[in-house]
Amino acid sequence: MDKALIGVLTISDRASRGIYEDISGKAIIDYLNDVLITPFEVDYRVIPDEFEVIKETMIDMVDNKGCCLILTTGGTGPAKRDVTPEATESVCEKMMPGFGELMRQVSLQQVPTAILSRQTAGIRGSCLIVNLPGKPQSIKLCLDAVFPAIPYCIELIDGPFIDTDPSKVKAFRPKK
Ligand SMILES: Nc1ncnc2c1ncn2[C@@H]1O[C@H](COP(=O)(O)OP(=O)(O)OP(=O)(O)O)[C@@H](O)[C@H]1O
Ligand SMILES: Nc1nc2c(c(=O)[nH]1)N[C@H]1C(S)=C(S)[C@@H](COP(=O)(O)O)O[C@H]1N2
């Protein structure tokens, strides 16, 4: 079976300069290692909150490297330099607003400022791109909420078959 390539993209001025350690990107990789039971590789990058850099990195990960899923972290808030959702939208052919809606809903149970995240998701070619907030504590919470729908979504856009350990995340595939 072909290995799925999954992009993990940390978007943070300070993490990219080494001012703090990128805990959130590593939490995404830990999550994938914990829940996925089908073979995969990770393309992990840490970049600053620059629209063009984010856009070019996403295009490279999808068009040149062949990622079937990109999980971003950071840059989803209202601050002037937060442009991850705009960059995501600029590279996608279709937006998937349900992902952001659900993640904000579960995050609201953690912090009232969850509504400040403009996190979204979209499709470029055969790749699903999902934004997560920058806070390390948001990663597992958000991924637990949306991951059950991710394997089927990737299947619908002609990506590789990916599956999860059902004791951790139950991937839902409607009966045809
Ligand atoms: N990748 C990350 N790893 C560890 N902590 C993070 C990460 N991203 C954000 N945080 C934490 O969340 C806080 C608020 O997130 P914020 O969106 O301001 O970070 P940021 O986008 O990395 O900031 P900036 O890009 O301005 O450096 C940060 O001060 C930091 O403590
Ligand atoms: N689950 C969860 N979601 C969260 C948060 C959090 O701590 N936990 N922080 C919020 C805050 S304070 C902000 S400003 C936005 C945007 O964060 P970002 O710019 O780092 O992506 O995410 C929000 N969503």
27 lines ligand 2 (CB under 6 A): no
Per-residue confidence (pLDDT) for residue 1, from 0 to 100: 58
pLDDT at 108 over 70: yes
Q: Is 122 in the pocket of ligand 2 (CB under 6 A)?
A: no
Q: Where are the domains of the chain?
A: 4-156
Question: 175 pLDDT band (50/70/90 cuts)?
Answer: confident
Please state, as a whole number, how many other Cβ atoms lie within 10 Å of the Cβ of residue 150.
Answer: 24
ipTM: 0.95
Taking residues 60-71, report their average pLDDT: 98
Mean pLDDT for the chain overall: 97
Give the Å distance between the CA of 19 and the centre of ligand 1.
Answer: 10
pTM of the model: 0.98
- In angstroms, what is the span from residue 97 Cα to ligand 1's centroid? 24
Protein residues whose CB sits closer than 6 Å to any atom of ligand 1: 10, 12-15, 20, 22-25, 49, 73-75, 77, 134-136
CATH fold of 4-156 reads Molybdenum Cofactor Biosythetic Enzyme; Chain A (3.40.980)
